[in-house]
Amino acid sequence: MRPTFMTHAALVLTLSLSLSACASTASSPAPDAPDAAEPADAANAADSGSTLPVADSGLPTTDAGVTAADAGTSADAGPTQPQWTLRLTVPRDYSGTPRQLSVVLVNSLPVVTIPAAFLTTKDNPTVAAGQEITLSGPVPTNRGPFKVLAVLYMQGGGQFTPKPGTDYDAASSANVTITGSSVDFGTMPLALHSATDGHSAF
């Protein structure tokens, strides 16, 4: 009978230990599940307007946010129109208040008719004694030889022709030929207009 009792006792002990192990396993917390909210959080971040960092392209950007390479080049302005250029020197004894500076092309001197072309007219120009004035503009459509005449009309001076002793003028000594290409009329000295300087017949 003793062996049977010992065997029964061993079985009871084994069963007791197995139940204890099962109870311990049931009471242990389950391992953390993967955070399923992370993808949703990334989607929410995209919807909220936040942006992910972008690699720097190294190119300057325009105000529109695109690179200058993508923006393209400006439209071709086309060929430059031929220009004429003239320099006028103001005498050191110059005085008075300038009203208008006019540069024209005339067929001959002295002037006996209306100019062949008006190159430029500047109202109330700034003029100082001893100054060199540089003027330029588009070459006119006229073709052929002309004289260049510049008149600085002063307050109290003439209207369409220079007034002797008041206005200043200058004229080219030789003809200039207008061909449609850029042309430099050179430098002409302004002087107080005289009735005998041969610039005007009026």
Rounded to an integer, what distance in angstroms lies between the CA atom of residue 108 and that of residue 173? 11
pLDDT at 202: 62
The domain ranges of the chain are 84-192
Both tokens of residue 180?
């449609």
pLDDT at 78: 57
Q: What is each CA distance from 202 to 26, 166, 197, in whole angstroms?
A: 125, 15, 12
pLDDT at 200: 82
Q: Does residue 85 surpass a pLDDT of 90?
A: yes
Check residues 80 and 36 and name the one with the higher pLDDT.
Answer: 80
Average pLDDT on 189-201 reads 91
pTM over 0.85? The answer is no
Q: Whose CA is closest to 154, among 69, 97, 71?
A: 97
Count of C-beta atoms within a 10 Å radius of residue 148: 23
pLDDT in tens, 113-137: 999 999 999 999 999 999 999 999 9
Give the burial class of 163: count Cβ atoms within 10 A of its Cβ; 0-12 exposed, 13-18 middle, 19 or more buried.
middle
Q: Does residue 22 surpass a pLDDT of 60?
A: no
pLDDT at 74: 43
pLDDT at 17: 47
Rounded to an integer, what distance in angstroms lies between the CA atom of residue 168 and that of residue 189? 10
pLDDT at 80: 87
